């Protein structure tokens, strides 16, 4: 019999909800089958911890004396430029932003030791951040310059707002050329010397809800160690892709825009990251609970690494030049084994997203729900799903 989210929430409040991580659910269904799982299990928790370049934070700084209008001026946080095209003291910092003084890729490959993502990590960790701003004065905001230190404790609001996170599936990157390349998928050795992937596979949020039946706008989630929300479909959300019989996309598909109070979050789950020769970014921890309302959801959440396939893409030519074509596809089970076969050759694999940490996130979320600290939400609107034709 089908359950509702409010029934499950009642159980959570009484400490009686049965919660499994997506990995445990896969095991459970393998042993006891889908109908039993739908009956016994209330919630499945997922997790992912990987570099997500479309992440950033906005801050309302509060007013200095005399007041300053940053809107229309320029400002820096620890030398990293932040966007201030808003009102007087609202600023936004994207994680891929680079200090003006960084040599970037002029000395190739650039190291990108400190950028927007690192500022976010330091800020969340409670470190003082140097703010320098310059602007024009007005009658109501006379001040033209500001040099000060800001701390997350003292600003009015600090909000993590990521435009595209939690990609549903992703490419496996290889390099067909004769020279090493430095990409957002890591360092790729020549002549398919290695293959890098970036998804938690069977633990990944949207791979456990392939057709967006549960996850939607308003879904409450684990975000950076705190509780946040899905605010919209992410940019480049593309539900209309080739899918397996289980509904799981075979190429990158859905994405999420997420938002949450940065003051609740922790630097453990928001990590400044440097991709050699590419740029800085932020590694973000996300976990999404999926209520097991019926057998269909039980089946989706039982998906295993052997049933999820990712395309192998050449990043020396096909990707940069927007050409079509892949070198085949491969399951996450094979990827996680440490090597895959491409064109008959054994190629070592490595992951950019941490499966170990994804597992930890799913475990933390499970714990929150078991203890009654996290209640599930009903989505308020659907994410765009695949066109039916």
Partner 1 sequence: MKITKNIVLKFSREIVDQPIVCKLAKVYDLSFNIIKAYVTPRQEGYLILQVSGRESDLKKGFEYLTESGVKIEPVSQDVVRNEEKCTHCGVCVGICPVGALAVDEDTRKINFYSEKCTACGLCINVCPVRAMEVRF
Residues forming the active site: 140
126 binds partner 1 per the rule CB under 8 A: no
355 binds partner 1 per the rule CB under 8 A: yes
Binding region for partner 1 (CB under 8 A) out of 192-200, 228-236, 241-249, 290-298: 192-200
Cβ proximity of 40 and 18 under 8 Å:
yes
The DSSP element (H or E) to which 12 belongs, if any, is helix 5-13
Six token digits for residue 73: 């001026």
> Which of 135/196 has CB closer to partner 1?
196
> Which of 63/179 has CB closer to partner 1?
179
Which of 107, 356, 387, 389 is the binder for partner 1 (CB under 8 A)?
A: 356
C-alpha separations of 307 from 58, 90, 139, 202 in Å: 39, 45, 64, 9
22-32 and 355-370 helices cross at what angle (nearest 10)? 80
Which of 272, 289, 291, 311 is the binder for partner 1 (CB under 8 A)?
A: 272
Binding region for partner 1 (CB under 8 A) out of 49-57, 99-107, 237-245, 365-373: 49-57
- Show Cβ contacts of residue 106 under 8 Å, excluding neighbours closer than 6 positions: none
> Which of 111/157 has CB closer to partner 1?
111
353 binds partner 1 per the rule CB under 8 A: yes
210 binds partner 1 per the rule CB under 8 A: no
C-alpha separations of 53 from 166, 313, 366 in Å: 11, 19, 27
Which of 45, 46, 283, 302 is the binder for partner 1 (CB under 8 A)?
A: 283
Listed residue (270, 162, 285, 157) closest to 222, CA to CA: 285
Gap between the Cα atoms of 275 and 264, Å rounded: 27
Cβ proximity of 226 and 260 under 8 Å:
yes
348 binds partner 1 per the rule CB under 8 A: yes
26 binds partner 1 per the rule CB under 8 A: no
Question: Which residues here bind partner 1, judged by CB under 8 A?
Answer: 49-51, 109, 111, 113, 180, 186-187, 189-190, 193-196, 271-276, 281, 283, 338, 348-357, 359
């Amino acid at each position: 019999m089908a359950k509702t989210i409010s029934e499950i929430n009642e159980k959570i409040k009484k400490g009686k909800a049965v919660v499994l991580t997506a990995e445990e659910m896969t095991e459970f269904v393998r042993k006891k089958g889908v109908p039993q799982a739908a009956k016994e299990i209330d919630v499945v928790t997922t997790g992912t911890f990987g570099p997500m370049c479309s992440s950033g934070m906005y801050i309302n700084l509060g007013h200095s004396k005399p007041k300053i209008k940053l809107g229309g001026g320029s400002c820096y946080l620890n030398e990293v430029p932040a966007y201030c095209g808003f009102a007087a003291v609202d600023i936004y910092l994207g994680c891929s932003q680079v200090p003006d003084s960084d040599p970037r890729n002029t000395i190739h490959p650039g190291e990108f030791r400190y950028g927007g993502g690192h500022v976010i990590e330091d800020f969340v960790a409670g470190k003082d951040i140097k703010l320098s701003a310059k602007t024009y004065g007005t009658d109501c905001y006379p001040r033209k310059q500001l040099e000060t230190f800001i701390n997350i404790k003292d600003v009015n609001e600090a909000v993590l707002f990521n435009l595209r996170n939690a990609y549903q599936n992703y490419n496996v990157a290889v390099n067909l050329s004769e020279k090493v390349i430095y990409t957002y998928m890591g360092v790729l050795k020549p002549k398919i010397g290695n293959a890098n992937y970036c998804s938690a596979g069977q633990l990944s949020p949207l791979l456990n809800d392939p057709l967006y039946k549960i996850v939607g706008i308003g879904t409450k989630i684990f975000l950076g160690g705190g509780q946040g929300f899905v605010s919209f479909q992410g940019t480049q959300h593309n539900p209309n892709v080739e899918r397996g019989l289980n509904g799981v996309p075979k190429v990158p598909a859905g994405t999420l825009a997420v938002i949450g109070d940065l003051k609740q979050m922790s630097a453990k789950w928001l990590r400044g990251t440097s991709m050699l020769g590419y740029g800085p970014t932020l590694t973000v921890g996300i976990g999404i609970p999926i209520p097991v309302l019926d057998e269909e959801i039980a089946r989706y959440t039982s998906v295993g690494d052997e049933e999820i396939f990712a395309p192998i893409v050449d990043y020396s030519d096909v990707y940069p030049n927007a050409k079509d074509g892949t070198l085949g596809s491969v399951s996450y089970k094979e990827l996680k084994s440490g090597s895959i076969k491409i064109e008959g050759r054994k190629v070592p694999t490595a992951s950019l997203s941490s499966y170990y940490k994804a597992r930890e996130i799913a475990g933390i979320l499970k714990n929150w729900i078991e203890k009654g600290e996290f209640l599930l939400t009903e989505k308020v609107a659907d994410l765009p799903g695949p066109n039916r034709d």
